[in-house]
Structure 1
Amino acid sequence: MAHGRGLSRRTVLMMGAALVMTAGCGTGSGSDGKVKVWHGYTDKEAAAFDKLAARWNTTHPGQQVELVFNGGNDNALQKTLASFASGNPPEVAYQYGSSITGLTGRPQTQDLTDLLRGDTAFDWDDLFPAGREAATVDGKIYGVPALVDNLSLVYNKKLFDEAKIAHPTESWTWEDFRSAARKLSGDGRFGWAYVNDGTEDTVWRFLALLWQAGGDLLSADGKKAAFASDAGTQAMQLLRDMAVTDKSVYLDAGDQQYLNLFNSGRIGMLWTGPWDLGSINEDVSYGVQILPGKVTHATIAGPDTFVVFGENGRANALPFLKWLLSAEIHLEFAMETGHLPIRQSEVDLSGYAEFEARYPGTKVFVDNLAKNVTKSRPNIPQYPKISQVLGTAVQSVLLGQAEPRAALDQARGEVDQALAGS
């Protein structure tokens, strides 16, 4: 886990897809008048967040914020829903990925569209598109981006050199990628790793492949599955060819052994994000490149969101969040934590070069946000079911238990039923 996030991105993705309410309790606004901001930050992130909140409080006596560690972000949705039931919700809660669809339509969750789109000083359109989309459901804005990241290709330079393979380039194709993975494999080594536990961590890499092949997850109107297409078949076939035929893929069971194996020189390439860079051993010389491509070099972002609740949240917590996401303040936070810029204008600030120097390899991820993050997972209530179905399909193909087209056809039927409300 990079940058002190305190949780694996696998946990982030799993909980972003889970919309199951569990019992719990929480602490919302108190009699002290401070607005509560729930988060799960630890280590460097928590220290940086605390420092910024303290600065805000010294200059805003009438809009004091209290940061509340809610025990970890992995069950933030469930705790938030439980706080609704108890009648004591916070004004703000950090939420993962598509969790926001479990909160919209509830009276506590605030529609902030008028307060954000109309604020020229805040400049909503300056936020990277992936972050804006994560906070928007049915055209309405319910929060602000808390984090934006994406997948890139991270590779071990020494293993490439020893195998006499040219390092990945921006023009790398699927064929180049598969060939390199095959050459890097054998004697206990694997060219690539794939998390194959059937969760959203299994799915989002497949979605990147699907988009690279020119495909889509759903039809344009969102009412039918669109992944059981030629593009989907090509994406699934690549996975089968590499895992079953070439045996060049380490299938991670979801326990993140892939990172230990990468550090020990037993895996040559990862599709991962900036959160893993801080966990790569110092003696491992690694490079970062955009994902290989077919029709495009599309990647996928995994944005998280601060969601706002209640009139007090609108009036007194949102101003803090706007300040937190100003270009200068967020770059300070990024410098302390390694989080990617959340605004396009951050990269133009004088201090940005220092950020890239401090966190080698992040430039590719930042460039991706503007160039290769062209599509996003849909913010719809059915997405967790879609993810579950696709996760099972991808898992079965990687294990050699199903053929690509058959797995996709079965998944299409189940997803169509879910979208139809069956």
Structure 2
Amino acid sequence: MTYHPQLKRTGLKRTALVGAAIAAVSALTLTGCGGQQGATTLDKDAPVTITMWSGQTDEAQDLIEKLAAEFEDEHSNVTIELSAGASSTEQLLQKLSAGFAGNSYPDISYAFGAWASQLEASGRTLDITDKVNEPDVQWEEFSEAARKTVQPTGEKTIGFPAIVDNLSLIYNKTLFDKAGLDYPDENWSWDDFRDAAKTLTDPASNTYGYGYSVSGSEETTWQFWPHLWQNGGEILSDDQQTAAFDSEAGVEALTFLQDMAVTDKSVYLDQTDTKFGQLFASDRIGMITSGPWQLYDLVKAGTDYGVTVLPGTDGDHQTVSGPDIWALFDHKDANREYWSYEFVKWLTSAEQDVRWNVAIGNLPLRSSEVDSEEFAEQAAQYPGLEIMAANNENAQKARPTVPGYVNLSEAIGSAISQVLQGQSDPAEALKAAAEKANEKLGDSK
């Protein structure tokens, strides 16, 4: 098996790409389902056709087509009409919006986690809460962040997790050995992290202890969320109507990063979102926070690296995850509803997931897959992948899926960039960002 970086599904990192699509259909508020009434009584043996938009291309699409065909062979009355759904994953939301209006939407669709609130608000999704609570589903094997993403308001469960990821600390062993430093581990605190970054930094050779994006994109923003959460802060208020990141906890977290960047000058400030990874691979940066998609490039470059959990506070090593989902939709047909659920339940089981997610180099969906032979093979090829999989346990909170999140991300991303470049005060920058975010969050009420 080969890790394919082009197949990664990093919903958080791609928020900038899907922002326009989200804004274009920010009010998917249709209620009820038009069209003819389907089967009102379940008949598990009746012929049924379900439609699925996979959002996949290339090898991932080939694999899921084989799995769908296998499911059809096992259930001769079921036909799965499977397609990518759109020319790119980013276009699926707009395609779904048009389908809701014309009553031509699928039974199942891949979706970025960022879309979950809008999909639930459409009135077209199924609520499978009672079903996933059944013991045989083993719902607890999905990470908490993944479970929360398919439960955007906490009132309904609109599908299953499809792909998970998280941020872990990746360190350059060559630079650590040169500096005579012990490698980072699961006991590292923020102070340990800062001290190591200072020691690793060498202005004479343009070597930095840490790399951070200051492009103002979602890359800038989601790198900050673990610091906020570990310090006791929250992104939004409890009712998700106003920004809460400008709290004392948020100011302290951003001040910590400012001290590293401005006072210590130990942070490479990347304007591109991509160069810090390249510099790390060439032994110019000692530490980065990244995910499984980074490992392919590091192995290819021959970089001597290690992986561990993020540095924490008081033993809290929370990370951030960008789960994508399989959304299930209601056509008022008991047979389609039943078999749509059964197929996605089957597809996301540990037995099938090792043949799809694990096979294409993504992290396993379920904790039970970490001990599988298939995942062991991938982890042997890409060291640290097993640590990233275990780190899903630290993905305790879901990134908000409220419609105004894109604007919130832009506001705080810009604030973080200004602060780390010494152009703004943390408290003032976060306050201004919260006010700007609240304007758009208010628009989405």
Once the two structures are TM-superposed, the CA of residue 309 in structure 1 deviates from its matched residue by: 2.1
Residue 271 of structure 1, CA deviation:
0.5
What is the Cα deviation at residue 315 of structure 1? 3.4
1:268-325 Cα shifts (integer Å, max 9, x gaps): 2110111221222441111001111123221111111111223265233222111011
Decide whether the 8 Å contact of 1:16 with 1:97 is kept in 2: no
- What residue is the counterpart of 2:424 in the other structure? 402
Q: Residue 338 of structure 1 contacts residue 359 of structure 1 at CA under 8 Å; is this kept in 2?
A: no
Percent of matched pairs sharing the same residue: 38
Deviation at 1:7, TM superposition (A): 5.8
Which one-letter code corresponds to 1:112 in the other structure?
I
State which drifts further: 84-93 or 387-396: 84-93
Larger mean Cα displacement after TM superposition, 345-354 or 138-147: 345-354
Q: Which amino acid aligns with 1:338?
A: G
Other structure's SS at 2:121 match: coil
Paired position in structure 2 for 1:40: 55
Deviation readout 1:335-369 (Å, 9 max, x if unpaired): 31222222233335566544543442122222222
Who is 1:340 aligned against? 363
Deviates more, 1:95-104 or 1:187-196: 187-196
User: After the TM superposition, which residues 236-255 of structure 1 pair with which residues of structure 2 at under 5 Å, given as runs?
Assistant: 236-255=254-273
> 1:57 is matched with which residue: 68, 72, 75?
72
Q: Which residue of 2 aligns with 1:163?
A: 179
* Structure 1 residues 120 and 7, CA gap change in structure 2 (3 angstroms): closer
Spell out, residue by residue over 1:27-46, the C-alpha distance to the aligned partner (whole angstroms, 9 max, x if none).
xxxxx974332233344433
Q: Which of 14, 28, 38 matches 1:12?
A: 14
Residue 203 (str. 1) matches residue 221 (str. 2): yes
- C-alpha separation between the residues in 2 aligned to 1:170 and 1:125? 23
Q: Closer, same or farther in 2 for the Cα pair 1:368/1:166, shift >3 Å?
A: same
Alignment match of 1:304 (pick from 316, 324, 339)? 324
CA distance in 2, matches of 1:358, 1:48: 21
| 1:358-377 correspondence runs (5 A) | 358-370=381-393, 372-377=394-399
How many angstroms apart in 2 are the aligned matches of 1:409 and 1:237?
A: 14
The 2-side partners of 1:250 and 1:108 are apart by 46
1:26 counterpart residue number: none
Q: Secondary structure at the match of 1:346?
A: helix
SS of 2:228's partner is: helix
SS in 2 for 1:402: coil
- Residues 205-284 of structure 1 aligned to structure 2 (within 5 Å): 205-282=223-300, 283-284=302-303
Q: Which residue of 2 aligns with 1:75?
A: 91
The one-letter amino acid of 1:3's match is: H
Would the aligned equivalents of 1:244 and 1:400 in 2 still touch at CA under 8 Å? yes
Deviation at 1:221, TM superposition (A): 4.1
Counterpart of 1:122 in structure 2 is: 137
Matching of residues 47-196 of structure 1 within 5 Å = 47-69=62-84, 70-117=86-133, 119-138=134-153, 139-185=155-201, 186=203, 187-196=205-214
CA distance in 2 between partners of 1:228 and 1:189 (Å): 32
Amino acid at match of 2:23: V
What CA deviation, in whole Å up to 9, does each residue of 1:102-134 have, x standing for no partner?
2122133222223333x4322333322221111
- Secondary structure, aligned partner of 2:303: coil
Identify which range, 41-50 or 153-162, moves more after superposition: 41-50
How does the TM-score come out when normalised to structure 1? 0.88
Counterpart amino acid of residue 293 in structure 1: G
CA distance in 2, matches of 1:408, 1:144: 34
Unaligned runs of 5+ in 2: 26-46
Q: Does the 8 Å contact 2:4/2:296 carry over to 1? A: yes
Change (3 A) 1:303 1:277: same
- C-alpha spacing 1:400/1:126, structure 2 compared with 1 (3 Å): same
Seen in structure 2, the aligned counterparts of structure 1 residues 400 and 154 have a Cα distance that, compared at 3 Å, is same
Q: Is the 8 A contact 1:97 1:304 kept in 2?
A: yes
2:412 maps to 1:390? yes
CA drift at 1:90? 2.3
Judged with a 3 Å threshold, the aligned counterparts in structure 2 of structure 1 residues 237 and 280 are, in CA distance, closer, same or farther, namely: same
TM-score where L is the length of structure 2: 0.84
- What is the CA–CA distance in structure 2 between the aligned matches of 1:73 and 1:194, rounded to whole Å? 27
Task: Choose 242-251 or 199-208, whichever is displaced more.
Answer: 242-251
Code of the aligned partner of 1:21: A
1:279 to 1:74, Cα distance in 2 relative to 1, 3 A? farther
SS in 2 for 1:191: strand
Alignment check: 8 A CA contact 2:354 2:364 kept:
yes
In the TM superposition, what is the alpha-carbon distance from 1:205 to its structure 2 partner? Answer: 1.1
When residues 349 and 6 of structure 1 are mapped into structure 2, their CA distance, relative to the original with a 3 A threshold, is closer
What one-letter code is carried by the residue in structure 1 that aligns with 2:338?
A
In structure 2, C-alpha distance between the alignment counterparts of 1:288 and 1:49, rounded to whole Å: 30
Distance 1:71 1:193 in 2: 34
Question: Which residues of structure 1 form unaligned runs of 5+?
Answer: 23-31
Kindly indicate whether the alpha-carbon contact (under 8 Å) linking 2:299 and 2:382 is maintained by their aligned counterparts in 1. no
Which residue identity does 1:20 align to in structure 2?
A: A
Please state whether the residue corresponding to 1:137 is helix, strand or coil.
coil
Question: What displacement does 1:415 show?
Answer: 3.6
What SS does the aligned partner of 1:310 have? coil
Q: Aligned partners of 2:415 and 2:273: how far apart in 1?
A: 20
Q: Which letter does structure 1 place at the counterpart of 2:291?
A: G
Question: How many residues in Structure 1 have an aligned counterpart in Structure 2?
Answer: 412
Please report how far the alpha carbon of residue 255 of structure 1 lies from its aligned counterpart in structure 2 after TM superposition.
Answer: 4.9
Q: Give, as a single letter, the amino acid of the residue that structure 2 aligns with 1:49.
A: I
1:239-270 per-position Cα deviation (integer Å, ceiling 9, x unaligned): 22222233332233345222222222222211
8 A contact 2:143–2:396 mirrored in 1: no
Given that residues 15 and 75 in structure 1 are in contact (C-alpha distance below 8 angstroms), is that contact kept between their aligned partners in structure 2? no
**Structure 1: how far apart are the matches of 2:87 and 2:360?**
19
The AA in structure 2 aligned to 1:285 is D
Q: CA RMSD in A?
A: 2.8
Contact 1:2–1:279 (8 Å) recurs in 2: no
Residues in 2 aligned to 1:66 and 1:250: alpha-carbon distance in whole angstroms: 48
1:286 and 2:305 correspond: yes
C-alpha displacement of 1:101:
1.4
Change (3 A) 1:42 1:226: same
